Structure 1
Amino acid sequence: MKKQLIICGLMLAVFSCSEPKKESYTFQVSDLEPYIITLASDEFEGRMPFSEGETKTINYLESEFQTMGLEPGNGDSYFQDVPMVSINSTAATEMTIKSANESVTFEGLKDYVIWTQRTDSLVSFEDAEIVFAGFGIVAPEYGWDDYKNIDVTGKIVMMLVNDPGFGTEDEAFFKGNTMTYYGRWTYKYEEAIRHGALGVLIVHNTIPAGYGFNVVQNRWNSAQLYLDDRGQDNYKLGFEGWVTLPTANKLFEMAGMNEREMLAKARKADFQAVPMNLKASSSLAVEAKYDVSKNVIAKVTGSTKPEEYIIYSAHWDHLGIGKPDETGDSIYNGALDNATGTAALLALAKAFSTDEKPERTVIFLAVTAEEQGLWGSLYYALNPIYAKEKTVANINMDGINPYGKMKDVSIIGVGQSDMEDLLNIELEKVGRYSAPDPTPTAGYYFRSDHFSFAKVGIPALYIGTGIDHFEKGKEYGKQLEDEYVQKYYHKPSDEYDTSRWNLDGAVDDVQLLYSVGRNLANSDTWPKWKPSSEFRAIREAYMK
């Protein structure tokens, strides 16, 4: 005992020394692999909400939580209802666009993709005017307003993907190549709604978008999910959509505009939105189905601070059954995205239920409909089971490293909160390091469920697979990442494949996230947002 007291004094009471702490859980491949195999199997039908795949998935998660001995996370239930609407937009096969001199018919799916959030049985537009609105951004902090001096009410707004900072290398200008929320397509639709537009056509470009047009094509004539907002007076666009770059160039040509000149003007704050003197006509038949999807939630109650919460999250859903690929496979299994993250959630739940009980309560939240717009996590954030004032932090998992051991992990949204500092402490202990997101143009910070927590002020951590491969270096690691986007992302080919998967790195990353969460759960620390974070003021407003 005397020796223990001496050691405690040297450690300056950083850790509680009344009792030796039990060794933390050590993860193995076997903690992850069976879950991934099951969740990514054809039997689960791509885990689409409102399908048999959902029923199988949420029942499986509930059963696993029960087997581990975890408590239900929502009273006596492991489920949180998420009221939603499934809207199946069947777009006309063509869109006709006229100028003063010509009329051109564009082909749906090939040249453009549109859908709607309206639930009317038919949405149609005839000779709707088109306006080119640059990037479609209103950002007062940058002195930027693409809608100044123009009324787009009832008109179609065509705009560029990403934001004006992309390609400038100027980190003070819309964060340079790091996409801001202004560059995210969801923001562009939201801003167009605020201005009363009829519809939006975003010009697709693979590099600034961060993914190919095939990802956009997945929305063609397929059911899309949204939160059920019946009873609320929310204006919705007649349609949302994208056009290919060649289609956009043709529209500029029809309008008598120089495409390069317009793109250059759009990058300046004095840009003025321009009527294109083009008129578009098309329609969408709509079927709406209201139903309830489920978040799955379990907990380990804290021993001394049970009313302070740490939330681990991962989305259980994927894209279900859809357009067949060249091999005829139509099941979008979502092995990496996000059977791995859900498997990690289960593995962490098992570790916390097996290991010494944490001081704070740890929540395990598997959310629905991430692929459709972060709806499950957003619903939880707006309708929390555990108050945001008592929620210490969120640790989100969306895609766990399948490529073997990496020296690094990428921090998605570097510079946002103290959570990355806690991560770096754990990385240093095991001889690893963190690096900024290697593809900041893709806007990953706004594309997973941690963002829903950030929007209500809860400090959130989201890491991505590193690229510094232990054996083959950074070039090889980046090649693997690029190959995934090109060959597997949101395609039926995203399946668990032992010939190309190595879960040793996944084990390392789950161990890392366990250490971050476990240490936070056994401390009095309340992570904060960095001074430059746009979420700091939100948190401070209700934590006073």
Structure 2
Amino acid sequence: MYPKTLFKLAAAPLAILAASPLAAQPVTPIDIPETAPQPMSEATMKDVTRMLSSDAFEGRAPGSVGEQKTIDLLTERFAKAGLKPGNGDSWLQKVPLVSIEAGKISPLTVTGGKTPLSFEYGKDMVIGTYREAETIDIANSDVVFVGYGINAPEKGWNDYAGLDVKGKTVIILVNDPDYDSADLNGEFGGKAMTYYGRWTYKYEEAARQGAAAALIVHDTVPAAYGWSVVESSWTGPQFFAQSADKGASETQANGWIQKEAAEKLLASAGQDLGSLSAAAKRKGFKPVPLGLKASVSFANAIETTISHNIIGTLPGAKRPDEYVLYTAHWDHLGRCKPADDGDDICNGAVDNATGTAALVALAEAFGKAGAPDRSVVFLAVTGEESGLLGSSYYGENPVYPLSQTAGGINMDAFLMAGKARNVTVIGKGKSQLDDFLAVALKKEGRVAEADAMPQNGYYYRSDHFSLAKQGVPMLYIDGGDDLVNGGKAAGEAAGKDYTVNRYHGPKDEYNPNWDWSGVIDDLSLYYSIGRSLAMSKDWPNWVEGDEFRAIRDKSRAGQ
């Protein structure tokens, strides 16, 4: 799972997506066939997770030696499970990427205020570029505070109103103006993050406004992760989809600035971050020129590369031209900021060697059970950590028609917390796939609960989103947090422990003492849902009023 999303939405209306649960709408009952349970192999989960997250795979960065090792491992295991190559006679779909690694990064200097300021890379700020330019040199750029950096005409909201920011450096707050609401009522969905709250949107809007640089103020609560995650994620090569203009339409530089550093910057201009943040929450906020000048420069190592989605398929027995999709991202961060012991490999054991291993385990289970009526596609995508690049590429260049894809399940980061009484559904109530989930959960005596932290924007942070925005109904289910041993308190503690101590860092490593029991329960659930969907004659849809419903209706109608 990634903290940043660097993709560009294909259509403007989809830049306004909300992940809040929708009220249930009356729908025609859907065909949900009974399925027989199939054992899930814990040995496979352990074996594949251990290998993928070993130091030999070097953190599985796209284009690295770890990618080739991943391809070799997955294609071998897919073939042994009985799958066929999923792209003609090939297991691979090429995904053209460019990597840009910033180096020789100067401090960010700010002049024109009460005192000159200098902010250190890594400690105070991180910075990079989407442009394929050998050098970036921003000198004496006017600095402007633009609140949440949102331009939403349909809401009558424009944080850039009345000021031309071309060539300027904009300072932006993370999340939505109403992120700290107690409920889901508000201009931007209350505490449920919309796409306007994602920091990728803020860079996109800054570029549309012509800004030279965009710096987002890091604040752990609205960002949903600490500074260490930002720092490690921005270390080393950054991958982007290749573009025709080589990034010329983007800002020259974009990055993050520590909250404490931003407070000093604003204080130098005679402003207070707290007061400006409060003002930015109100409609009608206007950008605030700070009377400061910002300068920063760095060099870029640029390399174009071809990464790969890895695809295996089990052809359907009766309707092979209809498809059910399982997705998981195989990539991670590669080498990253070293831990205190010098370890600089971000192994990505939980994130997402576990989800990738689940593709293999599910493929084995389907192979042993025999082909269902519909074809089942097992898709291991690249570039998730760099912004859902592989899944976005597949969504825009599908190997199998999306209009003929009945639905899918995305798997990203299984926590080893043990058995749970529940599962957490990211985007609960959005599609009829919830009905398939309910039937499968009833057999297991478990319940589905909505995401308790919609303000964290998890809906935009994994690969299901790339398929959903193309209309394909997708389930994204987190493991339960109501643990059999310890309840909600133990579940919360396990999640916090991983996020604080291992997420996107070198210590996300394989542990032979992990408790896999909850993961196996979840895999059995995913198998039951996918098998039932692959035997069904019906086509699940998004509920009436969902933002993806019209896209799906047009797709199914051949439009």
Name the TM-score class by shorter chain.
over 0.9
CA distance in 2, matches of 1:38, 1:353: 22
Most deviating of 452-461 and 167-176: 167-176
Cα deviation for residue 22 of structure 1 reads 7.9
Tell me which amino acid in the other structure corresponds to 1:432: R
1:459 counterpart (469, 473, 476): 473
TM-score by length of 2: 0.91
- Map residues 310-389 of structure 1 onto 2, 5 A cutoff: 310-389=324-403
Most deviating of 490-499 and 122-131: 490-499
CA distance in 1, matches of 2:278, 2:35: 61
CA distance in 2, matches of 1:446, 1:125: 31
Cα deviation for residue 42 of structure 1 reads 1.4
The aligned residue for residue 101 of structure 2 is 88
- Map residues 119-518 of structure 1 onto 2, 5 A cutoff: 119-173=132-186, 174-220=188-234, 222-230=236-244, 235-499=249-513, 501-518=514-531
CA distance in 2, matches of 1:234, 1:251: 28
CA distance in 2, matches of 1:439, 1:481: 12
* Runs of 5+ unmatched residues, structure 1: 1-11
Secondary structure of residue in 1 paired with 2:384: coil
Secondary structure of residue in 2 paired with 1:268: coil
Cα deviation for residue 232 of structure 1 reads 7.1
2:336–2:345 contact (8 Å) kept in structure 1? yes
Cα deviation for residue 471 of structure 1 reads 1.9
Cα deviation for residue 67 of structure 1 reads 1.6
Secondary structure of residue in 1 paired with 2:500: helix
Instruction: Name the larger-Rg structure.
Output: 1
1:296–1:367 contact (8 Å) kept in structure 2? yes
Tell me which amino acid in the other structure corresponds to 2:165: V
Most deviating of 168-177 and 56-65: 168-177
Cα deviation for residue 142 of structure 1 reads 3.2
Most deviating of 97-106 and 395-404: 97-106
Most deviating of 435-444 and 481-490: 435-444
* Runs of 5+ unmatched residues, structure 2: 1-28
Alpha-carbon distance change, 147 to 402 in structure 1, aligned in 2, over 3 angstroms:
same
Indicate the percent of aligned positions where both proteins have the same amino acid.
45
Structure 2 residue 96 is the aligned partner of structure 1 residue 104: no
CA distance in 1, matches of 2:126, 2:246: 28
**Structural RMSD (CA):** 1.8
The aligned residue for residue 14 of structure 2 is none
Alpha-carbon distance change, 137 to 397 in structure 1, aligned in 2, over 3 angstroms:
same
1:415–1:533 contact (8 Å) kept in structure 2? no
TM-score by length of 1: 0.94
Deviation by residue 1:422-446 (Cα, 9 ceiling, x = unmatched): 2122112211011122332221110
1:318–1:332 contact (8 Å) kept in structure 2? yes
CA distance in 1, matches of 2:427, 2:122: 33
Most deviating of 131-140 and 92-101: 92-101
Secondary structure of residue in 2 paired with 1:257: coil
Tell me which amino acid in the other structure corresponds to 2:279: K
Please list every run of at least 4 consecutive aligned residues from structure 1 whose deviation after the TM superposition is greater than 6 angstroms: 12-16
Alpha-carbon distance change, 358 to 128 in structure 1, aligned in 2, over 3 angstroms:
same
Secondary structure of residue in 2 paired with 1:32: helix
Alpha-carbon distance change, 160 to 391 in structure 1, aligned in 2, over 3 angstroms:
same
Tell me which amino acid in the other structure corresponds to 1:342: T
> Relative contact order: is structure 1 or structure 2 higher (C-alpha 8 Å, sep ≥ 6)?
2
Secondary structure of residue in 2 paired with 1:377: helix
Deviation by residue 1:169-223 (Cα, 9 ceiling, x = unmatched): 2412122222111111111111112212111100001111111111111244521
2:553 counterpart (501, 521, 540): 540
Most deviating of 310-319 and 161-170: 161-170
Equivalent pairs counted in the alignment come to 528
Tell me which amino acid in the other structure corresponds to 1:162: N
CA distance in 1, matches of 2:279, 2:104: 33
CA distance in 2, matches of 1:67, 1:445: 33
